[in-house]
Chain A
């Protein structure tokens, strides 16, 4: 039996998203004035997007790609197979995104200076490796780079960057 390839799965997800967009388009209020109602443009684009996604779906279904085998022998750096392979392949970006979202969640508590320094230090340690001689260097890079950025934006460009509860002064 032919298994669904990546493009087919993506096109199905996009079609579901299009359905959602079309539904959301009908929820837009019509103020009953003007020649172009506020819903017309997004609805029009949603229909066009749906048409493109349908073409993408049919292209992916009827393309003559060989069916992928179930064995892991086909796994390549470009196409990781299985959950573990997938997590290994995308490990660095996933961890970076997670750290970045954590930085945003804790921003009201730490503020930009402390939160940013912690984020740079954690990213450097995660990506560069945790070795005793590197930790000091990573800490130094984090303090100097975020300190310089913070100073430049605060004093040079007069931007009031988010401050944290931990040290309300900065």
Chain B
């Protein structure tokens, strides 16, 4: 079955047109990733209009090319000029730039390029192995569980908004409100339309997304004369030979680092809202802690490049696992991909892999292939990418603004969508300036209708609200949601206030309840282990409180 599906997917993708689209996508991603301030999410969002006219697998393959290219592109500016192209390569600059300054830019780039490649391949293997298994778990879900899962995705996104958690929550709720404008899916009743025809249709998801994210980002990029007229990046002409052989030897000798960092990347990607911007720093930190020579980190040490670069590429695989297995977008990029699939009437859910094997396996293969493609492109056309990033910001912004308009029009051939784009461009720009995170709002727009549908189905089966607490998966997600809301306070007060020592044991003990309720052998066994661990933490609690007080 797996071989059949894989062969069918290869057949689907192995056409000249698809391969060309992937090359263009990966090149665009590499360029976007190399431009400081130009996010990968924005590059994927801007690719979207081109995919409307394509088949679902072709469109997704192109976007995956952009995604993987963007993750790898950030290392070029990070290593050559010390300014990370994307937040996902922040930690790469810690050792990449010092190594380049020491006269070894070719080796630094080689380490970055090959670590990205190995990270991507490890995460592809995990994606293929884990996604179908996780989807099987997802098949156990009932409407109550789905609703609780979406509730969890929204709360965790908002709670990861850092210091601005309340702004994150407001942003997420605003997204839910935006999604509820227009005719409702269940009864066909118009909501929040005020008798205006334009509002009664509701807002199409993609113009809202492009307006909120891309349009407002461009406005921030050209906010003043200096920013508008500067080149996209300060990289000088480069004539560097990437040292492939030496880099591969170094990476293989440090294989524990690459495997550990890739696993950190995949795990971070699986968690909703925790993307590559977090995984690269986590992996760097762990590599430093595990190294026998931590003092060498920050001075141009190879392990300091290998860890973040393998982790950030591996994150993509993790995010795709959640999207494909559960139908839940973990971040803005997978939200866009979900939107692209919905346009083609493909609804990701736990049944997605079994019902749409051709598309599902096309995603696996495209992700696998994109890593090779990016490796070849980076090795062969580094100079070309650097040249492109010399364009002035205002030139790019002016062209992209018109492109956004044309792109959203092509979605439904409706001029109103262009107005939606502009209006949400203003909303996004105002929110950015008021420091409201946009990711929760975008996820709110995507997940709002899905959450309402599952809530409606739950209530159609039973009006008893206690069902949300008696179904094990639902209870599990509700518990995790509650603790995720408290997570940012826990992070701030950890090691300073006594209440934080209760957080972990309480959390572990709480999640054992739904695990025991699930029955069988494996899950109660996991619950027993967790219970034992939480008991140990409780036993050590008085000592931990005393240490904190002293």
Interface string of B428-453 (1 = CB under 8 A from A): 01000010000000000000100010
Known pairs A49-B173, A157-B50; A35 contacts B463 (CB<8 A) = yes
Known pairs A21-B177, A116-B406, A157-B410; A96 contacts B189 (CB<8 A) = no
- Give the most central of B173, B219, B455: most A CB within 10 Å: B173
Tell me which of A37, A141, A159 contacts B410 (CB under 8 A): A159
- Let me know if A124 and B180 touch, CB within 8 A: no
Minimum CB–CB distance from A103 to chain B (whole Å) comes to: 7
A16 CA to B219 CA, complexed, in Å: 27
- Let me know if A141 and B399 touch, CB within 8 A: yes
Known pairs A35-B463, A100-B401; A124 contacts B395 (CB<8 A) = yes
Interface residues of A in 74-90 (CB under 8 A from B): 89-90
- Let me know if B223 and A92 touch, CB within 8 A: yes
Minimum CB–CB distance from A81 to chain B (whole Å) comes to: 15
A51 CA to B123 CA, complexed, in Å: 41
Tell me which of A28, A49, A55, A101 contacts B191 (CB under 8 A): A28
Q: How many residues of B contact A (CB 8 A)?
A: 57
- Let me know if B398 and A161 touch, CB within 8 A: no
- Let me know if A96 and B170 touch, CB within 8 A: no
- Let me know if A162 and B434 touch, CB within 8 A: no
Tell me which of B184, B229, B406, B425 contacts A149 (CB under 8 A): B406
Interface string of B174-195 (1 = CB under 8 A from A): 1011001000101101111010
Please indicate the chain B residues that have their CB under 8 angstroms from the CB of A97 in the complex.
219, 422, 425-426, 429
Answer yes or no: A48 CB below 8 A from chain B CBs.
Answer: yes
A96 CA to B459 CA, complexed, in Å: 47
Answer yes or no: A4 CB below 8 A from chain B CBs.
Answer: no
Minimum CB–CB distance from B314 to chain A (whole Å) comes to: 34
- Chain B residue with Cβ nearest A88: B224
Known pairs A35-B456, A104-B419, A146-B402; A52 contacts B219 (CB<8 A) = no
- Give the most central of A30, A38, A103: most B CB within 10 Å: A38
- Let me know if B189 and A29 touch, CB within 8 A: yes
Please indicate the chain A residues that have their CB under 8 angstroms from the CB of B397 in the complex.
123, 127
- Let me know if B186 and A46 touch, CB within 8 A: no
Answer yes or no: A34 CB below 8 A from chain B CBs.
Answer: yes
Please indicate the chain B residues that have their CB under 8 angstroms from the CB of A120 in the complex.
398-399, 401-402
Known pairs A36-B186, A41-B455; A93 contacts B173 (CB<8 A) = no
Answer yes or no: A2 CB below 8 A from chain B CBs.
Answer: no
A49 CA to B415 CA, complexed, in Å: 31
- Let me know if B186 and A45 touch, CB within 8 A: no
Answer yes or no: B167 CB below 8 A from chain A CBs.
Answer: yes
A134 CA to B487 CA, complexed, in Å: 53
Interface residues of A in 7-49 (CB under 8 A from B): 10, 14, 21, 24, 28-31, 33-39, 41-42, 45-46, 48-49
- Let me know if B186 and A141 touch, CB within 8 A: no
A36 CA to B147 CA, complexed, in Å: 14
- Chain B residue with Cβ nearest A158: B53
Interface string of A140-161 (1 = CB under 8 A from B): 0110011001100100011111
- Let me know if A56 and B167 touch, CB within 8 A: yes
- Let me know if A56 and B398 touch, CB within 8 A: no
Please indicate the chain B residues that have their CB under 8 angstroms from the CB of A14 in the complex.
170
Answer yes or no: A6 CB below 8 A from chain B CBs.
Answer: yes
Please indicate the chain A residues that have their CB under 8 angstroms from the CB of B229 in the complex.
127-129
- Chain A residue with Cβ nearest B415: A162
A158 CA to B54 CA, complexed, in Å: 11
- Chain B residue with Cβ nearest A91: B224
- Chain A residue with Cβ nearest B411: A159
- Let me know if B399 and A145 touch, CB within 8 A: yes
Known pairs A52-B170, A127-B398; A6 contacts B228 (CB<8 A) = no
A116 CA to B187 CA, complexed, in Å: 40
Answer yes or no: B7 CB below 8 A from chain A CBs.
Answer: no
Answer yes or no: A135 CB below 8 A from chain B CBs.
Answer: no
A41 CA to B410 CA, complexed, in Å: 31
A48 CA to B173 CA, complexed, in Å: 7
- Let me know if B191 and A53 touch, CB within 8 A: no
- Let me know if A93 and B222 touch, CB within 8 A: yes
- Let me know if A24 and B194 touch, CB within 8 A: yes
Answer yes or no: B515 CB below 8 A from chain A CBs.
Answer: no
Known pairs A38-B187, A38-B191, A92-B225; A52 contacts B177 (CB<8 A) = no
Tell me which of B52, B173, B422, B448 contacts A101 (CB under 8 A): B422
Tell me which of A91, A96, A124, A159 contacts B409 (CB under 8 A): A159
A129 CA to B398 CA, complexed, in Å: 13
- Let me know if A39 and B191 touch, CB within 8 A: yes
A160 CA to B191 CA, complexed, in Å: 31
Please indicate the chain A residues that have their CB under 8 angstroms from the CB of B455 in the complex.
36, 41
Answer yes or no: B392 CB below 8 A from chain A CBs.
Answer: yes
- Let me know if A93 and B429 touch, CB within 8 A: yes
Can you list 17 A-B pairs, Cβ within 8 angstroms, ordered by A? Answer: A21-B192, A24-B194, A36-B455, A38-B189, A42-B192, A45-B173, A53-B170, A55-B166, A56-B167, A59-B166, A92-B224, A93-B429, A96-B222, A96-B401, A103-B402, A142-B398, A162-B415
Q: Could you list 14 further interchain pairs (A-B, Cβ under 8 angstroms) beyond the known A127-B394, A145-B402?
A: A28-B189, A31-B189, A35-B460, A45-B173, A49-B170, A49-B177, A56-B166, A97-B425, A103-B405, A112-B409, A128-B228, A159-B53, A159-B406, A162-B409
Which 4 residue pairs of A and B lie closest in terms of their CB atoms, listed nearest first? Answer: A127-B394, A123-B398, A38-B189, A35-B459
